[in-house]
Amino acid sequence: MTLLEVILSLVLLGGTVAVIGELARSSFQSARFARDMTQAELMAESILAKIRLGIIPMEPAYEIPVGMGSTHRTDTVVDTHALAEGNANTVLWLYSVDVVNLTDFLVEIAVTVRQNIAETRQPTICRLVRWHALEPEEEEGEE
């Protein structure tokens, strides 16, 4: 083999390794995003169900920590980037609730769940909206 052939083969090998490394990094990013989005959607669905059942009051709220009332923290994932930087958040997920009266008997409930990380790291945000029919109020004196 000549020196030129060896250099050319090393360049091709290096380019192939770089492409494979970029594909692996991209797939890990996509998997992390899918995991976070799925987790955020499940938390938002759970909060909406608790609101409709009356466990959580049907009133506006802003950036409430998710899962603070439970004794086990199955709804959190360790923020490894923040942990490596030495400033890990104690709460990884926050939720907000917006309640809008559409009519006398129909309410729009919007729940937004987001990661409690810096905006520069592009936190995952999920917003779910449901309409909820209110029970008609009974007038006093009727039997």
* Domain spans of the chain, in order of start: 3-133
Residues 112 and 126 sit within 8 Å (Cβ to Cβ) = yes
Buried b (16+ CB within 10 A) or exposed e, 30-56: eeeeeebeebbeebbebbbeebeeeeb
The per-residue pLDDT for 90 is 60
Return the pLDDT at 96: 93
Tell me what pLDDT residue 21 has: 95
Which pTM was predicted? 0.67
pLDDT < 70 regions, the chain: 1, 68-91, 119-120, 137-143
Which residues, in sequence order, are CB contacts of 104 under 8 Å at separation 6+?
A: 134
Helix or strand holding residue 128 (H, E):
strand 125-133
pLDDT the model gives residue 30:
92
Which residue bears the tokens 């907000």? 96
Q: Mean pLDDT of all residues in the chain?
A: 81
